[in-house]
Structure 1
């Protein structure tokens, strides 16, 4: 159904009365997603590390919007955010992320990309899950296809660190997380649906932080010419958040090798489709974060 008919923002139904939590919505795809959902009537909660930026976004979203501090690279911050939550959440969008950065560690010592993109959102989702009533959207990437999950060294403590394979691993982990999360939700009899999203090739502030000045300049030039706007990049998230599609779906653009265009249901790599690998990653993630599936 979703693949046969073109989709547009006009098809998004009213979001009045719905509460949406979006991580990293202070810029780029997250901010564009927040604006559309707020325009459709949703109460949007911007969860971000930089509270001043979050509050600036909230002022433009409207009176129902709210800013709350959340640092996904610090599990203490994740736990504090979840512990303070007392209301139903219709939609959680795990949007925040970092891409192709030099080797850096989170507050708990995890490799930054894996720790932020996967472990932080893994912990946040499970801690908030008792409050979530409708669906969870996790931003992944076509870069999951260049990733490989090394369960013996998820945090790059023994391998030679490489920025892009590390990014690919974190995006592969996002897809495997959604796969196992949906299996668990279904087994628990929950109606909550989990979706994964590829936003396409988008002009955002994610690019250009590799630490290599020459490579960063080249990346930014290509992105400026080839990348789509954050508003178009948000289409996949908005489709996954509002369209009637099955839990476990992977959504991304239809055109330019999956890098731009209207959203459709996508295929994923063989590794990203492995249910046993997804279960093993889940177990490892529980051990690393100390957070369990609550249902």
Structure 2
């Protein structure tokens, strides 16, 4: 495990292609910048192409922009249908946090639909192209999450913005767990890994709809949070370091700081039975499942 890993430890990515969802700002932009600087061809998969193009113009190397709205499964399908050739690393980074109750285009609770279902569908649709790694960005707030399989979309429960976020981030880890199991069973060399940034100062916070909550998050960003560049290191570590499939990377120091390393997760995130049932539910909701065959 790493003790002082930085972007200087990223091996050459020349000849490799990476897709970073939400790559136009925050952790995604920092991840994309580091991969591009190491020689990768980087595709920013973003909802707003104008903002994506502005971000891409400031990045080194070969960077392109393609539209992807994870809250619209037709957009996810269109992105995947337009992909040709190999994809070495898929970084499922984009997400929303503790937002007011809303629905995706397809009627799913917005945080679950965006953070989990959109990436679930995208990953499985792109998986026949992936040659090396799928990295899913979760959160330490997965520890507060609970998977309620008969109410994943908050139709029976009283809505909790933080509860919905926690559920979606726990779903990210359970997805990684079950994806790795399926990849192993299929004889694939592709690895599924996950990462969390600690508390990084990005535009993810501050969209709760509550002035008090947003002000508290802004204060925390100034006093406690690390930079987006530091927060992206666990994602980069999970994407390029020689770590086992199923690994979870995060900052190794106190107060969710420090160099990236492999970190622990909640007992709920190790629940194989719930991971399999969540996969089945996600496939039914999205209409997308694990590919029938994969390159070995």
Instruction: Indicate the TM-score class for this superposition, using the shorter chain for normalisation.
Output: over 0.9
Gaps of 5+ in 2: none
Matched, 1:270 2:267: yes
Partner Cα distance (2:108, 2:185) in 1: 30
Partner Cα distance (1:268, 1:215) in 2: 26
Aligned with 2:89: secondary structure? Answer: strand
- Written as runs of structure 1 = structure 2, the 5 A alignment for 1:116-195 is 116-195=114-193
- Could you tell me whether the CA contact under 8 Å between 2:37 and 2:61 is conserved in 1? no
Aligned with 1:264: secondary structure? Answer: strand
- Could you tell me whether the CA contact under 8 Å between 2:101 and 2:159 is conserved in 1? yes
- Could you tell me whether the CA contact under 8 Å between 2:18 and 2:88 is conserved in 1? yes
The residue that corresponds to 1:42 in the other structure is 40
The residue that corresponds to 2:209 in the other structure is 211
Partner Cα distance (2:60, 2:221) in 1: 31
**What TM-score do you get using the length of structure 1 for normalisation?**
0.97
Aligned with 2:135: secondary structure? Answer: strand
The residue that corresponds to 1:242 in the other structure is 240
1:63, distance to aligned residue in structure 2 (A): 5.2
Alpha-carbon distance change, 288 to 170 in structure 1, aligned in 2, over 3 angstroms: same
- Written as runs of structure 1 = structure 2, the 5 A alignment for 1:9-48 is 9-48=7-46
Partner Cα distance (2:5, 2:224) in 1: 22
Matched, 1:230 2:228: yes
The residue that corresponds to 1:287 in the other structure is 284
- Per-residue Cα deviation, 1:53-89 (whole angstroms, up to 9, x for no partner): 1111111224521100000000000000000111100
Aligned with 1:239: secondary structure? Answer: helix
The residue that corresponds to 2:82 in the other structure is 84
- Per-residue Cα deviation, 1:27-67 (whole angstroms, up to 9, x for no partner): 10110011111011000000000000111111122452110
The residue that corresponds to 2:111 in the other structure is 113
Partner Cα distance (1:109, 1:256) in 2: 40
1:6, distance to aligned residue in structure 2 (A): 2.7
Structure 1 residues 55-64 or 77-86, which shifts more? 55-64
Structure 1 residues 216-225 or 32-41, which shifts more? 216-225
Aligned with 1:122: secondary structure? Answer: helix
Partner Cα distance (1:13, 1:117) in 2: 29
1:263, distance to aligned residue in structure 2 (A): 0.6
1:260, distance to aligned residue in structure 2 (A): 1.4
Q: How many residues align?
A: 292
- Cα RMSD after superposing both structures: 0.9
1:218, distance to aligned residue in structure 2 (A): 1.5
Aligned with 1:97: secondary structure? Answer: coil
Matched, 1:260 2:263: no
Structure 1 residues 174-183 or 56-65, which shifts more? 56-65
The residue that corresponds to 1:101 in the other structure is 99
Gaps of 5+ in 1: none
1:214, distance to aligned residue in structure 2 (A): 1.4
Partner Cα distance (1:76, 1:224) in 2: 38
